[in-house]
Amino acid sequence: MGLSLFSDHMLERLQGGRWLVGVSGGGDSVALLRLMIKTGLKDRMVVANFDHGWSRFGPESAEFVEKLCAKLDVPYVSGRGQTGKACANSEAVARDERYAWFESTVKAHGLDGVLVAHTRDDVVESFLIRAGKGSGLRGLAGMDAESHWHGMPLVRPLLDAGREGLRTYLRTMGQDWLDDPDNESGGSQRARVRKLMPQLEAIGIGAEGIAACVHALTDAEAALNAMVAQYEIKQAAKGGLELELAALQGVGVEIGVRVLARLMETLLPYTMVVRRSKRAALLVRLQSEGQGHATLGGLKFEWKQGVLQARLEQEA
């Protein structure tokens, strides 16, 4: 494992920027750090460790990563969160806090974005969790190799790598790493799914097969998004956006809910789009009622005379 781990396209992307590399001290992120150095990208990164303040593992992780960076002669920065683990939806809140700190650190150091060490195993675990919650195609499709958080590039160079393969790579060079006790205890849903994977492997449902399925779903997602991008959404005369209702007549549910999602994301770019079932219910009304109005996800929708208008609720 080495230079060939990064695709030619990914290697070119990494060589073309300067990056904040998120390193928790776990095997995946330590492997990303060592691979960046082996690939000749040592002078194109600053390592970042963020302690959420949840447990003793945070300070232990920060100390481990700081010492590793000193040994490897790599620039290092650290941050600490203010949100306690006991809050509602703590993992999502923690992610937002961590990414907000990443964003401010990227700006402070004049960097081009953040590298995170999500792997094929993370893709598989996310798929199983979301499938259990009844997610549609949009939720089941895999992570993108590059996405954005509030406009900040978020790059995932290791999506084709397996977790065990990365640890094998670290063992061959005598590089140690830390195991988060939260993952070992099975406290979170993701940790419990992770513990189930060997049982699924034993009955022939392996990570590689699930990942291939996710890849196919991701291709389908991209194709649908390309179709939705062709719909003409215009600026409304009195603010907001508008769309000819005829464009939604006769379309399948999957296309219709995606057009509505595009409207919502354009007006509220950094807000999670409301669940598919609620958008589907609005689509039914748009296709069957000549005129009407609805409020959904902080937006006001009004339709009459063949035109749908959407604007921020407080501006309606």
Task: With beta carbons less than 8 A apart as the criterion, state whether 307 and 245 touch.
Answer: yes
Check whether 235 has a pLDDT greater than 50: yes
What is the arithmetic mean of pLDDT over 3-25? Answer: 89
User: pLDDT tens for residues 247-288?
Assistant: 999 999 999 999 999 999 999 987 888 888 999 999 999 999
Say how far apart CA 136 and CA 141 lie, in whole Å: 9
Topology (CATH) of 3-211: Rossmann fold (3.40.50)
Q: Is pLDDT larger for residue 5 or for residue 11?
A: 11
Percent residues over pLDDT 70 in the chain: 94
Cβ atoms of residues 208 and 236 within 8 Å: no
Distance CA 302, CA 98 (A): 38
Q: What's the token pair of residue 234? A: 């215009």
**What six digits make up the tokens of 4?**
């060939």
Question: Which whole number is the average pLDDT over 106-123?
Answer: 97
State how far the alpha carbon of 10 is from the alpha carbons of 102, 113, 277, in Å. Answer: 21, 14, 36
The answer to whether 197 touches 211, Cβ cutoff 8 Å, is no
pTM of the model: 0.85
Domains 3-211 and 234-315 share a fold: no
CA distance 23 to 61: 9
Residue type, 272: M
Beta-sheet strand order (sheet of 45-51): 76-80, 45-51, 19-22, 113-115, 152-155, 146-149
Predicted confidence (pLDDT) at residue 87 exceeds the cutoff of 80? no
What pLDDT does residue 316 have? 58
pLDDT interval class at 184 (50, 70, 90): low
All structural domains of the chain with their residue ranges: 3-211, 234-315
Q: What is the mean pLDDT of residues 181-194?
A: 77
Relative to beta strand 234-235, strand 292-296 is unpaired
Q: Can you tell me the mean pLDDT for 111-125? A: 96
Pairwise CA distance, residues 219 & 208, whole Å? 17
- AA letter at 74: V
pLDDT bin (cut points 50, 70, 90) of residue 3 is: very low
Q: What is the mean pLDDT of the chain?
A: 91
Bridge partners of residue 147, in order along the sequence: 154
The pair phi, psi for residue 301, each rounded to 5°, is -110, 130
- Write out pLDDT tens, residues 291-307: 999 999 999 999 999 99
Give the model's confidence band at 57: pLDDT under 50 very low, under 70 low, under 90 confident, else very high: confident
Cβ proximity of 10 and 178 under 8 Å: no
User: Residue 168, SS3?
Assistant: helix
Q: How confident is the model at residue 90 (pLDDT cuts 50, 70, 90)?
A: low
C-alpha–C-alpha distance, residues 50 and 58, integer Å: 8
The pLDDT of residue 281: 96
Is the pLDDT at 71 greater than 90? The verdict is yes
What's the whole-number mean pLDDT along residues 224-234? 94
Give 234-315's CATH code, choosing from 3.30.465.60, 3.10.20.310, 3.40.50.300, 3.40.50.460: 3.30.465.60
Q: Are 290 and 302 in contact (CB under 8 A)?
A: no
Q: Give the pLDDT mean for 28-48.
A: 96
Mean pLDDT along residues 200-225: 94
Rounded to an integer, the average pLDDT of 10-24 is: 96
Query: Which residue, among 132, 154, 131, has the nearest Cα to 143 in the 3D structure?
Result: 154
pLDDT of 180 over the 90 cut:
no
pLDDT at position 232 is 94
d(CA 95, CA 24): 13
